[in-house]
Amino acid sequence: MDLVLTVTNAVGIIAFSVAGSLKAIEKRMDLLGVITLGFWTSLAGGIIADVLLGKFPPSNLTEVQYPAIAIVSSALTFAFFRKVSKLRRPLLYAEALGIGAFTASGASLAYSVDPNPVLVTLVGTITAVGGGVLRDVLANEVPLVLTMDFSATPAIIGSLTYYALAYLGLFREYLTAVVVLLTFALRVAAIRGNWRLPTVAN
Amino acid sequence: MDLVLTVTNAVGIIAFSVAGSLKAIEKRMDLLGVITLGFWTSLAGGIIADVLLGKFPPSNLTEVQYPAIAIVSSALTFAFFRKVSKLRRPLLYAEALGIGAFTASGASLAYSVDPNPVLVTLVGTITAVGGGVLRDVLANEVPLVLTMDFSATPAIIGSLTYYALAYLGLFREYLTAVVVLLTFALRVAAIRGNWRLPTVAN
Amino acid sequence: MDLVLTVTNAVGIIAFSVAGSLKAIEKRMDLLGVITLGFWTSLAGGIIADVLLGKFPPSNLTEVQYPAIAIVSSALTFAFFRKVSKLRRPLLYAEALGIGAFTASGASLAYSVDPNPVLVTLVGTITAVGGGVLRDVLANEVPLVLTMDFSATPAIIGSLTYYALAYLGLFREYLTAVVVLLTFALRVAAIRGNWRLPTVAN
């Protein structure tokens, strides 16, 4: 894994763990619930991707640094809840980096298993947003990404871009970095511009 | 896959996608949510079946026609919501065909992996109703199939019938077609007769 | 599987099935819903563990005695709801035995696949509490284990103990029995002492 992906992936795990922990605290979960929700919010997307691609056990459960980052981040959010809860705006940008990293790593893994555009797009997107969906399901809410959060669309565009560039053999060594940055930029634009997808006016 | 299964499977994917999309619109999801819910409602049952049987990546993610049908059906439901929402009654019958097709394909796949009556019945049933369960979980509702919808029972009977006939070597070439039609007929009878399973009067 | 594990595992499947069925009846599910919720409450933890470890099809779907116990226990709970619902206190202790058995069997299986402390702990814990989480998600509630139920912590301690003792080569033949009893004892102490993990006072 190249340097850009390593760094943004770690930032993403921290940000997603914090977001999951904040949701758990809002739902009055106990310490175990806070760590569990932080853990799955940051790592479930990659675990589901590994399962769909037939990689067992999933690397988010065996490479000790990922669970360690998730658990420590969640425990610190529990301990310093008041301070952390004031960081929601910077947290959104850190999460945006995570969406970029998770999209690139999921798309890259799927491409290496089967260079199929549908598979690459779905696995890249699930890696990026699957953890947030599980967070909301465990918090007994409709997943935010399905109702108003413009974060799956950057992951879809990032994954398709990964597929196209890999297929064309462009950017070889820098491919994951390009996709991380593109996805991140789209998500940041969506946050700043308050982008929304259309809904049916019913 | 024989002709009956191919046709009814496609009808089922369309009908389940439309049903998932209608639920998403009812829950005020955005375009991405509508397509996502349509997608998983129609394809998740088969994906879970493939995962339980150890088939990776699941064929609903790699055989491009299935995701394509699901995405197009969901997008059309979004675009023509008013017209589509008037078709709820015919939609029930199209879904019944899908329950037949999904039961037969799940039972058949499980039988080929391990001719075990419990496995065949569970995988056939999960293939048929798993997508609807995921739809309701993502819509933050108790799954309809667990409370009042008489659609798992036809799938259970269809799967057991598949096992018994395959074990006895009957109907060989026509086996999936027989199971599709039997399951469909049971589901249609349940719709017309407004069949209900008993509940505890508490 | 040694005798202690075999017996406590069967007790656990019965207790978890009854607990799932009672929740289903409380939610006014029909007979199929009651059996389904009993089934997944008792068997989903082990199924998820098998999936994460790459064991297909999961043994809870192929070894006929486990689904049979779950289905019969759930059907009896449906039939004798009034009597069974008076047994909630003894049920808690039977569930505690199940938490012990599921933890030991999950940790043991994970250790045999990859003797990694993180993997062993996570898989042992998921085996013990995953079914209860799925029960609550299907019942459209926030999982009890995340808010107040002190049952994941005994499973975590039991799993870590399994890893440490296996790594040190201690108790060899009696290892699963030691872990079953330790986890059970911790869970019973938590019930009797009404133990709670801290929450954020917000």
Q: Which residues does chain B have within 8 Å of residue C68's beta carbon, measured at their own beta carbons?
A: 118
Residues in chain B: 202
pLDDT at residue A201 in the model: 76
Residues near C157 by beta carbon (within 8 Å), at least 6 away in sequence: C182, C183, C186
Q: How far apart are CA B37 and CA B73, in angstroms?
A: 11
Q: What is the pLDDT of residues A62-77, one digit of tens each?
A: 999 999 999 999 999 9
Average pLDDT over residues B129-141: 98
Packed helices C65-79 and B117-138: angle between N→C axes, nearest 10 degrees: 60
Q: How far is CA A91 from the centre of its chain?
A: 13
| Helix, strand counts (H, E) of chain A | 10, 0
- Mean pLDDT of all residues belonging to chain B: 96
Looking at this predicted complex, what is its ipTM?
0.95
Quick check: A85 pLDDT over 70? yes
Residues near B117 by beta carbon (within 8 Å), at least 6 away in sequence: B160, B163, C64
Ramachandran area for residue B42 (φ above 0: left; ψ -120 to 50: alpha; else beta) = alpha
For residue A97, the distance in angstroms to the closest alpha carbon of chain C comes to 26
Q: What is the pLDDT of residues B22-69, one digit of tens each?
A: 999 999 999 999 999 999 999 999 999 999 999 999 999 999 999 999
- What are the CA-CA distances from residue C171 to residues A36, C162, C165, C174 (Å)? 31, 10, 7, 5
Comparing CB atoms, the residue among A118, A141, A147 nearest residue B33 is: A147
How far apart, in Å, do the first and last CA atoms of chain B sit? 46
CB contact under 8 A, A202 and B81: yes
Q: What is the pLDDT of residues B89-117, one digit of tens each?
A: 999 999 999 999 999 999 999 999 999 99
Ramachandran area for residue C136 (φ above 0: left; ψ -120 to 50: alpha; else beta) = alpha
Q: How far is CA B182 from the centre of its chain?
A: 15
Chain B nearest-CA residue for A54:
B56
Using an 8 Å Cβ cutoff, are B105 and B126 in contact?
no
pLDDT at residue C202 in the model: 56
Q: Which residues of B33-49 are buried (b: 16+ CB within 10 A; e: fewer)?
A: bbbbbbbbbbbbbbbbb
Q: Which residues does chain A have within 8 Å of residue C142's beta carbon, measured at their own beta carbons?
A: 27, 29, 138-140
Question: Is pTM beyond 0.95 here?
Answer: yes
For residue C24, the distance in angstroms to the closest alpha carbon of chain B comes to 8
pLDDT at residue B91 in the model: 96
Q: What is the pLDDT of residues A34-63, one digit of tens each?
A: 999 999 999 999 999 999 999 999 999 999
pLDDT at residue B180 in the model: 97
Q: DSSP state, B161?
A: H
Using an 8 Å Cβ cutoff, are B79 and A80 in contact?
no
Q: How many CA atoms lie within 13 Å of A131's alpha carbon, on the beta-carbon side?
A: 34
Residues in chain A: 202
Q: Point out the residues of chain C with pLDDT beneath 50.
A: none
